Amino acid sequence: QVQLVESGGGLVQPGGSLRLSCAASGSLWSINAMGWFRQTPGKQREMVAKITSSGNTVYLDSVKGRFTVSRDNAKHTVYLQMNSLRPEDTAVYYCNGVSTTRDYWGQGTQVTVSS
């Protein structure tokens, strides 16, 4: 089993920045990739950014150049640095861990971009 705990969400003005953190614990050897998804009411959860165990990254088109995903293997933590935030980035952000057998999810953290 893997446990994921997010932190760092909150309210920010348009153009501002936030950094989300996801601390992982448990059977980390089984995890191949980690990333961030987001969801708004009435919409499907969408992948925002992903980073593999080898450090390769993938981003949602609308966040390229604004968001950066990174990982600190020593701290078992994945980060999402979000800059130039827009109102349409408002969502609940979920940390995701992918193993060969299943996905793991954190509890989610709210990000609200509003003036």
Mean per-residue pLDDT over the chain, rounded: 94
Query: With 90 as the cut, is the pLDDT of residue 88 above it?
Result: yes
CB atoms within 10 A of CB 83: 14
Query: With 80 as the cut, is the pLDDT of residue 29 above it?
Result: no
pLDDT of residue 82: 98
